[in-house]
Structure 1
Amino acid sequence: MAESGTNQSVEKAAGVLSTFLPGGPLRTADVAKRADLSQSTASRMLATLESVDLVERDGLGMYRLGPALVTLGAAVLNNHPVHRAARQRAQNLAADLRLGANVAERRGDTLFYLCNFEGRDAPRPFMLAGQHNPLHSTGLGKCLLAHTTPEQRRELLGDELPRFTERTVADHDALDEEMATLRARGYTMEIEELALGRACIAAPILDQHGEVAAALSVSGPLSALDLANRQQALADIVVETADAISLDLGYVGPQHAPSRATSR
């Protein structure tokens, strides 16, 4: 039952579109099952969405998301201040370091990728932009929590933190320690906490008010990051790039200078 003041047709259309998020084409019956609709309702919704290019059909009659969503998505990103400030710098970072470069903001209790670029040593079979990931088990997510208190983190994330690998920070006391380290040195790392064999170094991006607006990371296979030999050099570059993006967003206060001086 829709809440008072909402439009059920719009909610159903959004539900139909969301069934395609896992990827791959779908039959009408698949959409109906995933969206919890009758097949006739799903068929009508798909026909309407197809008429405005929000979905399209292939030669076999299978549906997939349509080109109008690319136009809408591009408009969202082009008008997003963090994306505008960070896109070119992140792209340059990926090319120069041959690693992945990622920018994300917080959406509720998850991080939301605004953009990602692949370096030659860190290819991915899929795009991260538009996807969500946990906050507690990613370098970007920890940066997005940088200005929260322990009490706020517990309220936001709940008492139990899901474990994805044996290295996941899975309790709040350990996360509190990582937050203290992040504040002291201006960056954080994630090593095989979300996926085995992968790591990242991340730093927060601040807005004109000095609040955490987003985060920047470089990521890739452990062999490509070579943290044993390159941790501080990579951290310096990530922090400097995040600082530059912060300045573009209007932040004018000092950032990380004392901690970076003591970390070398």
Structure 2
Amino acid sequence: MATDQGMNQSVEKAAAVLATFLDGRGDLRVSDVAQRAGVGQSTASRLLATLEQLEYVERDEVSSLYRLGPAVISLAGAAVNQHPVHREARQHAQALACSLGLGANVAVRRGASLFYLCNFEGALAPKSYTLLGQRNPLHATGIGKCLLLALSPQERRELLPELPRYTQHTLTTHAALDADLATVAERGYAIEREELALGRACVAAPVLDGSGTVTAAISISGPLSAIDLPNREVELGRKAIEVADSISIGLGYIGPSHPVGVGTGR
């Protein structure tokens, strides 16, 4: 038992070391990793050396700084390829980004945040990084609002007791969020305009599984000037719903078994 406990602690420490790289802010020194992971510098150095041998991290020969290695990419690729939503949504999202020239993103809920499974950029919404595997708040994003349709108002309050402010446009009270979600459920799509980051907006629609439950969402996103919500909101909303419906059908959804309304997004 003592040996098993020691091995478990080693795995936890190794996972903590890998997690220090998740913010993507650049290569790290051993001391940086030790501080972020909450371990001693000698422990961090030993774990990094082992992870380097296994190709989970790699070290720059000139600077001696560490970054994530190719083994992590292999695991990430295998993980997303095994996810049914990713498999069904990937081609739809890619075609959507290509046809509109905007961003197309697919995400599911993981606890109190959304988790991106797909991310494609069109010519009008370029990014120098991928959203795949990243998380964002539910209440301040179009995708997140769609995912929150699966929860009752009470469940939303238990999941998100506080609604942090990211810009002056962020919804920070549950009363405001409830009202917004009622509109989302009625028209079938969500809007986010500068609620998470200034200068950006998106339109999103929920994806349903075979039981009719919101299991994911897809968004069309980009700079305010490119997405042009004053003139294109209805057009983009209909497009998001159309693509979300195609993905839902692929996941086994065959239509509502009850009247259209809150909780269906249709």
Shorter-chain TM-score range: over 0.9
1:80 Cα deviation from its structure 2 partner: 0.4
Match of 1:145 among 138, 148, 165: 148
Q: Is structure 2 residue 88 aligned with structure 1 residue 85?
A: yes
Query: Where does residue 20 of structure 1 map in the other structure?
Result: 21
Query: Where does residue 125 of structure 1 map in the other structure?
Result: 128
Query: Where does residue 212 of structure 2 map in the other structure?
Result: 210
For structure 2, the residue ranges without an aligned partner over 5 or more in a row are 262-266
* Alignment map for 1:39-54 (pairs within 5 Å): 39-54=41-56
Q: Is structure 2 residue 109 aligned with structure 1 residue 106?
A: yes
Query: Where does residue 94 of structure 1 map in the other structure?
Result: 97
Secondary structure, counterpart of 1:112 in structure 2: strand
Give the distance between the partners of 1:226 and 1:37, measured in 2 at CA.
48
Q: Kindly tell me: are residues 247 and 5 of structure 1, through their superposed partners in 2, closer, same or farther at Cα, counting changes over 3 Å?
A: farther
Query: Where does residue 252 of structure 1 map in the other structure?
Result: 254
Give the distance between the partners of 2:207 and 2:30, measured in 1 at CA.
43
Give the distance between the partners of 2:27 and 2:151, measured in 1 at CA.
41
Aligned residue identity for 1:114: L
Aligned residue identity for 1:106: R
Query: Where does residue 238 of structure 1 map in the other structure?
Result: 240
Aligned residue identity for 1:121: L
Give the distance between the partners of 2:89 and 2:221, measured in 1 at CA.
16
Q: Kindly tell me: are residues 233 and 55 of structure 1, through their superposed partners in 2, closer, same or farther at Cα, counting changes over 3 Å?
A: same
For structure 1, the residue ranges without an aligned partner over 5 or more in a row are 260-264
Query: Where does residue 11 of structure 1 map in the other structure?
Result: 12
* Alignment map for 1:194-209 (pairs within 5 Å): 194-209=196-211
Give the distance between the partners of 1:22 and 1:207, measured in 2 at CA.
31
Give the distance between the partners of 2:247 and 2:6, measured in 1 at CA.
40
Q: Deviations over 1:31-63 (max 9, x none)?
A: 111111111111110111111100011122111
Match of 2:173 among 165, 171, 174: 171
Give the distance between the partners of 2:131 and 2:252, measured in 1 at CA.
27
Give the distance between the partners of 1:166 and 1:67, measured in 2 at CA.
40
Query: Where does residue 264 of structure 2 map in the other structure?
Result: none
Secondary structure, counterpart of 2:203 in structure 1: strand
Query: Aligned Cα RMSD in Å?
Result: 1.8
Aligned residue identity for 2:20: T
Query: Where does residue 183 of structure 1 map in the other structure?
Result: 185
Report how many residues are paired: 255
Query: Where does residue 222 of structure 1 map in the other structure?
Result: 224
Give the distance between the partners of 2:190 and 2:241, measured in 1 at CA.
10
Give the distance between the partners of 1:258 and 1:226, measured in 2 at CA.
29
Query: Where does residue 262 of structure 1 map in the other structure?
Result: none
The answer to whether the Cα contact below 8 Å between 2:212 and 2:256 also exists between their aligned partners in 1 is no
Q: Deviations over 1:76-97 (max 9, x none)?
A: 0111000000001000000000
Secondary structure, counterpart of 2:240 in structure 1: helix
Give the distance between the partners of 1:5 and 1:219, measured in 2 at CA.
46
More displaced stretch, 100-109 vs 54-63: 54-63
Aligned residue identity for 1:17: L
Give the distance between the partners of 2:198 and 2:165, measured in 1 at CA.
12
Aligned residue identity for 2:196: L
Give the distance between the partners of 2:191 and 2:250, measured in 1 at CA.
24
Q: Deviations over 1:217-255 (max 9, x none)?
A: 000011101111111111111001000000000111149
Aligned residue identity for 2:158: E
